[in-house]
Amino acid sequence: MTRPRPKSPNMQNYRPQLTSVMSFGHRLSGVGLSLGAFGLVLWLLAGVAGPDAFSAMHSLILSLPGRVLLFLFTLAFFYHLCNGIRHLVWDSVHGFELRSIYVGGWAVMAASLLLTIALWGWWLV
């Protein structure tokens, strides 16, 4: 009698690593930026449609949910940018040591958060 073999990866024993989480985040931020581009197009179309449509869209953007989406869009933009730069460094065959991979990953997270906060701080002033 054979025991059933666990499926790969065995989810009971699997612990996400920084590299896998960042890879998923890079893909997710790319999807978010693509969807956000539709919002940008809607905003531009509202500007073309006239002052009433633009005013309605402007009110929507400045509402609390609109600002949260803008903040998340900004965070996705800077995360995707910083992680893309990290991949460019990897393309130059640098930073493949395990310590460098983790230092670079945490640096990408910190830089994207700091750049987002700096931009929003500058915008709100």
CATH for 66: 1.20.1300.10
| pLDDT (0 to 100) of residue 4 | 79
| pLDDT (0 to 100) of residue 62 | 93
Whether 12 is in a domain gets the answer: no
Separation CA 40–CA 104 (nearest Å): 31
Whether 118 is in a domain gets the answer: yes
| Full domain range(s) for residue 94 | 21-124
Per-residue pLDDT of 77-99, as tens digits, reads 999 999 999 999 999 999 999 99
Q: Considering only CA atoms, which of 31, 18, 16 is closest in space to residue 109?
A: 18
pTM confidence score? 0.86
Separation CA 12–CA 3 (nearest Å): 17
Per-residue pLDDT of 12-44, as tens digits, reads 777 889 999 999 999 999 999 999 999 999 999
| pLDDT (0 to 100) of residue 9 | 65
In this model, does residue 67 exceed pLDDT 70?
A: yes
Whether 6 is in a domain gets the answer: no
- Which two tokens mark 83? 């992680």
